[in-house]
Structure 1
Amino acid sequence: MSTPSENPASETVSPLGGGAAPKSKYDDHRRPLLRALKYGTIGLVIVTVISLAAWGGAQGLPGIWGVLIGAAVGGGYVLLTALSILVTANTSTGATGAIVLGGWLVKLVLVMIIFIALDGLTFYHQWAFVVTLLVALIVVMVAELWGLITTNVTYTS
């Protein structure tokens, strides 16, 4: 087996000459997912802060609890999907698909358990919970989509 220095044909040569070209940040196939997670997290934080101010001011502590639970469920649901794809980015397509679908099933069961556990409890404001959950879902999905479609990556190697 030869090392890269023994086999110069295996090295990436800079088109301008002068040896091996540095690998570009645009060659990282995980870059769109990283940006999607970054933008989604920023969107979730913004929604949470605005909702905390609005619902906390209007409903007090129950509004704050509703916002925190709604943001965690709504934003977490979407962010965990992107995170599971990122974690499996270097595996086979079948493994990625199995983990994403398995993760979706686990998330669905967890959301059902959370809804059942919250049924009848009065420590949180239900409208704050529902509105924040829906807004967080929409904002995080749109922010992740924006992060994905605006990322520059190399299409050929």
Structure 2
Amino acid sequence: MTAPDDGALPDPAPAAPTAEPTAADAVFRRALRDTVLLLVALTVLGVLVGALVSGLPGVWGALIGVGLAAVFSGTTVVAMLRTTRSAPQVMAGVVMGTWLAKVLVVIVALALLRGLDFYSAPVLAGVLALGAIGSALLDYRAVSTGRVPYVEPGDGGRR
């Protein structure tokens, strides 16, 4: 059965939440941008130093190290940026899942590379260490200098 038509217009659909960037988004975007710049600089310097120190194996070690550093440093920032509007439980689950995934990727990659000799292990270790420490420092800088309010204006106190 249908209701009689009284000529009234149906209620409009509720407005979708705005997807405007928040202050937290700005912090995560800065951390991601700085991490990408670090990885570019690390690639250039790592390849140059690796070539000077170990030749072609040094170049391969630097490239593999930068790749692993990108996986290790970029995944958490991207996960946080993608889940800023999610429930805290969802955000925590995604961040924990990406942390576990990146640790597994690094362990598997290092295990697969263990017996191979086409790359320089010291160059790989140095580039990977610089990438991990550098990205952690850049993340710290982005968070400590970011201005994130306790409550977003206009959200009615909901979070």
Indicate whether the TM-score tops 0.5.
yes
CA distance in 2, matches of 1:150, 1:39: 13
SS at match of 1:121: coil
Choose which of 66, 77, 83 in structure 2 pairs with 1:88. 83
C-alpha contact (below 8 Å) 1:47/1:136 kept by paired residues: yes
SS at match of 1:30: helix
TM-score, normalised relative to structure 1: 0.78
Choose which of 110, 115, 131 in structure 1 pairs with 2:110. 115
TM-score, normalised relative to structure 2: 0.77
CA distance in 2, matches of 1:116, 1:72: 15
RMSD: 2.0
Say which one has the larger Rg.
Answer: 2
Give, in angstroms, the shift of residue 56 of structure 1: 1.2
Give, in angstroms, the shift of residue 29 of structure 1: 2.9
Structure 2 unpaired stretches of 5+: 1-10, 14-19, 154-159
Cα displacement string for residues 57-109 of structure 1 (whole angstroms, at most 9, x for unaligned residues): 22111101100111111232121111111111111100011111111111121
* Runs of at least 4 residues off by over 3 Å: 152-156
- Greater relative contact order: 1 or 2 (C-alpha under 8 angstroms, separation 6 or more)? 1
Structure 1 unpaired stretches of 5+: 4-23
Identity %: 26
